[in-house]
Amino acid sequence: MSERSGLQFSLLGIPVRIEPWFFIIPLFALQTRDLRGAVIWSVLVFLGVMLHEFGHALAMRAYGFPPSITLHGLGGHTSYPESARPTPRQSFFITLAGPGAGLTLGFIALAARHFITSPNADLQMALSDAVWINIGWSIINLLPILPWDGGHVLDSGLHWATGKRRDRVVALFSIVGGGLIIALAVSQRSILLGYFGAMGLFQGYGRWNLAGQGPPPVTAVQSEDDEKRLQFALMSVVDPQQRAKLTEELAWVRLRKGDFAGARRAVNTMTGATPSISLQARLAATENDVDKVIQLLETSPAGTENERPLLLAALIAKERFDDAVALARRHVELAGSASTRLFEAGAYAQALELCTSERIRTGDGVHAYNEACCLCHLGRLEDAVTALQKAKALGYGGLAQIRTDEDLAQVRNRPEVQALL
């Protein structure tokens, strides 16, 4: 299907593509090593990068997402399928799996270097290279700077822990970290370090500007060229199953571009094939067919994992508040957003239920603060004051907003609340 250049094969059922630029790595090694040393280093880099990407890929597959791997000039990348919508918790563990695989191999090499006392210089060189490539790079890769794994771990980890995206926190780490790396690059006169630092600055700046505009896509942004590539492929493919797969991919490309009518047209051409539950639900949502969204996602559990936020929104839109609470209780990664959505919908009792359960589960004072907001709207002012006291006892640092938070207007002037401030 792909028209891109490079060596392509499948390993353990996972598609792998190696771009020509990946093979420039031996040229760097030749600057400081003889040919044999450069070959040893290059082979170990290839194995290390492949193992790292397979860590991501196998974790991705364990969550039900078919992965694909690309090796390029500066390392590798493991991609989700077009329809994937991983939860923050899933993203956190999928991202960690790559460095985890590298560290595992690196520590095996470290132990081997300690116990193997062979005088063979090539073997000792290979073990030393394996330690640096797998442990050294994994540690650097876990720095909390985008686009490295550490930046994505910070991003998904904060989202998972707090129930909300923390784009500007992630952006600030990337901007500051990128600046420090650039300063180090200047002192070391390293162009490569400078490049990595500039990437951190650039991506941090981009994430800062995108803060509040929703989550970034899980795959690269699709362009007009992607749509043309798929249309061309459809002209030359006869096999019905392959045509159905390409057509669904085309529908997702159009959907993400905001071309909802074009996505629907693509689906309507899928004669003899059924679109995925995820795609059907997304199209129903664009057509404001809330009942169909619920019907699809409630009755087809296999299609709900990546679409649970959509199902949650649909249940709240239909004022099925208790069902929304039940969904969030079954899948705790939804609890934070569910309590916020329920509060905004005026379902204060249900929002309170989730805030209380999240406070008990996480011990985070922000949930006690949100309990207080719900309790004020329910007219339970004494309980609201108690909830604010719990928020302070749990270390919540945002109590100053009580002064301006209209949800707490009924209690902000009470002596007990003033004492908290």
Read off the pLDDT of residues 217-227 as tens digits, 9 standing for 90 and up: 444 333 455 67
Residues 364-392: what's their mean pLDDT? Answer: 90
pTM of the model: 0.49
Last residue of a domain, one of 142, 172, 199: 142
CATH code of 378's domain = 1.25.40
Residues 385-411: what's their mean pLDDT? Answer: 87
Is the separation of the CB atoms in 144 and 153 below 8 Å? yes
Name the 3-class secondary structure at 71. Answer: strand
Same-domain check for residues 290 and 408:
no
In a domain, 24, yes or no: yes
Model pLDDT for residues 176-222, shown as the tens digit of each residue: 887 888 888 788 776 666 777 777 777 777 777 665 444 444 443 33
Predicted confidence band at 350 (pLDDT cuts at 50, 70, 90)? Answer: very high
Instruction: Supply the range of the domain harboring residue 361.
Output: 319-421
In a domain, 233, yes or no: no
Same-domain check for residues 310 and 377:
no
Name the 3-class secondary structure at 155. Answer: helix
Same-domain check for residues 57 and 90:
yes
What CA–CA distance (Å, rounded) separates 49 from 42? 10
Name the token pair of 88.
């923050």
Q: Is the pLDDT of residue 3 over 50?
A: no
* pLDDT value, residue 13: 76
Give the number of domains in the chain.
3
Predicted confidence band at 379 (pLDDT cuts at 50, 70, 90)? Answer: very high
Is the separation of the CB atoms in 306 and 278 below 8 Å? yes
- Mode of pairing for the β-strands spanning 7-11 and 68-72: unpaired
Q: How far is CA 272 from the centre of its chain?
A: 34
Same-domain check for residues 53 and 91:
yes
Predicted confidence band at 374 (pLDDT cuts at 50, 70, 90)? Answer: very high
Same-domain check for residues 356 and 291:
no
Last residue of a domain, one of 109, 142, 175: 142
What CA–CA distance (Å, rounded) separates 287 from 346? 25
What CA–CA distance (Å, rounded) separates 143 from 91? 17
In a domain, 271, yes or no: no
Name the 3-class secondary structure at 14. Answer: strand
Q: What are phi and psi of 164, to 5 degrees?
A: -140, 155
Same-domain check for residues 285 and 418:
no
